[in-house]
């Protein structure tokens, strides 16, 4: 089985312009996500069983992602408004049997979780999710066949926010990572200036250790140094905008 690790990203954000290319320690911030994934899956990448791909839309600004190919990723351009369709297009064009889906905003997404998703897909699961990690650290996986079946009624829809709703939840395999710690103040995703400030402080504190640090260690560091205070205040605004965008998409698709 050949698996694509799809990093979903676009550079058209209005809240934080070209956020994935903002630099920390001289590197585009998304490079830290790429390097964490390529380090975790080094053997599988070398054996051509896994490939890391930035899946984006074919707009002028997104061409800047091509400069990141030197870090061992491919860039694929697909559907502009339907993310799962973009994933299906990439999987078929590049010959992937399964997909691990990573949000490009989730700079410190758990690579251990991605590994668990990979193993579950290889063991025959069709649809897999990690759970009980802080917001921005979970990942999802599905087979290309399951994705195609799930898209039958949605191929012409706008699906950019909360698009996991297209999947049959009865088929899901949940992988409990056991690290949430009942702390809803933790926010590991890049959407606002305060999120960038959070990641910048955290990555600068870790240095090159950010590539291989464990989930537990990074969470404990954020809590012990109270780094979460840098961006915890925007959670209410984030979820308000998220729910508003889901409602907008549902009305567009009627």
Band (181; pLDDT cuts 50, 70, 90)? low
Q: What is the DSSP string of 20-88?
A: GG-EETTEEHHHHHHHHHHHHTHHHHHTTSEEEEEEEES-GGGGGGGGGGGGT-EEEEE-SSBHHHHHH
Average pLDDT, the chain: 91
Please report, rounded to a whole number, the percentage of residues in the chain having pLDDT higher than 70: 88
Please report, rounded to a whole number, the percentage of residues in the chain having pLDDT higher than 90: 78
> In the prediction, which pLDDT does 250 show?
47
Q: Which domain holds residue 213?
A: 3-252
Q: In b/e form, how buried is each residue of 55-68, taking b as 16+ CB within 10 angstroms?
A: bbbeeeebeebeeb
The mean pLDDT of 58-66, rounded to a whole number, is 96
Q: Pick 13 or 19 by higher pLDDT.
A: 19
> pLDDT digit string (tens) for 152-176?
877 666 676 667 778 888 999 999 9
Instruction: Give the lowest-confidence range in 13-17, 196-200, 221-225, 238-242.
Output: 238-242
Distances (CA, A) of 176 to 42, 81, 125, 136, 180: 24, 31, 15, 15, 10
Distance in angstroms between the alpha carbons of the first and the last residue of the chain: 37
Is the distance from CB of 54 to CB of 9 less than 8 angstroms?
A: yes
Query: Which residues are CB-contacts of 166 (< 8 A; sequence separation ≥ 6)?
Result: 84, 150, 151, 153, 154, 159
Name the domain count of the chain.
1
Residue labelled with tokens 């954000």: 13
Beta-bridge mates of residue 103? 8
The mean pLDDT of 138-149, rounded to a whole number, is 97
Band (13; pLDDT cuts 50, 70, 90)? confident
Band (239; pLDDT cuts 50, 70, 90)? low
Q: In b/e form, how buried is each residue of 170-201, taking b as 16+ CB within 10 angstroms?
A: eebeebebebbeeeeebbbbbbbeebbebbbb
> In the prediction, which pLDDT does 246 show?
46
CA 53 – CA 94 distance, rounded (Å):
10
Q: What is the CATH number of the domain that holds 104?
A: 3.90.550.10
CA 182 – CA 81 distance, rounded (Å):
34
Long-range contact pairs involving 225-229 (C-beta distance under 8 Å, separation at least 24): 227/198, 227/201, 227/202, 228/183, 228/185, 228/186, 228/187, 228/198
């Amino acid at each position: 089985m050949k698996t694509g690790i799809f990093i979903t990203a676009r550079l058209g954000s209005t809240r934080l312009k070209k956020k994935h290319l903002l630099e920390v320690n001289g590197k585009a911030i998304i490079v830290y996500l790429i390097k964490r994934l390529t380090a975790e899956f080094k053997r599988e990448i070398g054996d051509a069983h896994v490939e890391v791909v930035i899946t984006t839309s074919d707009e002028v600004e997104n061409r800047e992602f091509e400069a990141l190919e030197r870090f061992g990723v491919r860039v694929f351009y697909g559907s502009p408004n339907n993310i799962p369709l973009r994933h299906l297009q990439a999987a078929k064009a590049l010959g992937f049997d399964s997909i691990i889906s990573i949000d490009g905003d989730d700079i410190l997404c758990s690579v251990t979780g991605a590994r668990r998703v990979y193993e579950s897909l290889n063991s025959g699961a069709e649809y897999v999710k990690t759970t009980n990690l802080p917001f921005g650290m979970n990942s999802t996986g599905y087979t290309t066949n399951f994705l195609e079946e799930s898209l039958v009624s949605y191929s012409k829809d706008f699906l950019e926010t909360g698009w996991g709703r297209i999947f049959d939840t009865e088929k899901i395999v949940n992988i409990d990572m056991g690290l949430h710690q009942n702390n809803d103040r933790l926010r590991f995703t890049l959407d606002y200036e305060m999120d960038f400030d959070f990641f910048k402080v955290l990555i600068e504190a870790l240095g090159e250790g950010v590539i291989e640090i464990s989930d537990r260690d990074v969470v404990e560091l954020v809590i012990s140094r109270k780094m979460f205070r840098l961006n915890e205040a925007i959670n209410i605004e984030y979820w308000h905008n998220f729910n508003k965008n889901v409602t907008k998409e549902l009305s567009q698709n009627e």
